[in-house]
Amino acid sequence: MTQDCLPTALEAMMTGEMMAAEMMTGDQLIKQFEDGTTPAASFHHADHVRLAFEYLYRYPALEALEKFSAALRRFAAAQGKPELYHETITWAYLLLIRERMARAGRSQTWEEFAERNPDLFIWKGGVLATLYRQETLDSDLARHTFLLPDLGL
């Protein structure tokens, strides 16, 4: 990924319903998501990243992983699409977000985190493409079981 892609990714993150979500507190976002009232049509990759950040901001990593994954599975099932939940992608992003939060060396607001980590908002060809072979991510095993990265090892 080149530096010229990053402003575009950040601009994409800040459009549409994501701007409305920016007005909500993290607690409100989590409550809305867990209550099942998050609008499915407006829940995109950047919203997943924000929600994962909010869980990690409030809970220890393993608890955040369990809560976020369970809520995401419920969300997919409520949309009649339980097959959309992908464990490797979910866990990998959550763990990357956790690492980035820890490397910051201090507590960050969502806005600070988003500004410092624009690569996390690129969905197709983003950070997971540097860690996983596409055929790995496309596998049923990766969909149902967290797999460790298989590129660059």
pLDDT tens digits, residue range 21-47?
A: 568 899 999 999 999 889 988 889 999
Angle at 67 between CA 64 and CA 69, to 5 degrees: 100
Domain count along the chain: 1
Cα dihedral angle (61, 63, 69, 74), rounded to 10 degrees?
A: -160
- The reply to whether 35 falls in a domain is yes
Print the domain residue range for 84. 5-144
- The reply to whether 153 falls in a domain is no
Tokens of 130: 């540097």
pLDDT tens by residue, 88-128: 999 999 999 999 999 999 999 999 999 999 999 998 889 99
- The reply to whether 151 falls in a domain is no
Q: What is the mean pLDDT of the chain?
A: 87
- The reply to whether 149 falls in a domain is no
Percent of the chain predicted with pLDDT > 90: 73
Contact predicate 48/68, CB 8 Å: no
- The reply to whether 93 falls in a domain is yes
- The reply to whether 94 falls in a domain is yes
The predicted model gives 131-145 an average pLDDT of: 97
Q: Which of 54, 25, 43 is nearest to 79 (CA)?
A: 43
- The reply to whether 117 falls in a domain is yes
- The reply to whether 40 falls in a domain is yes
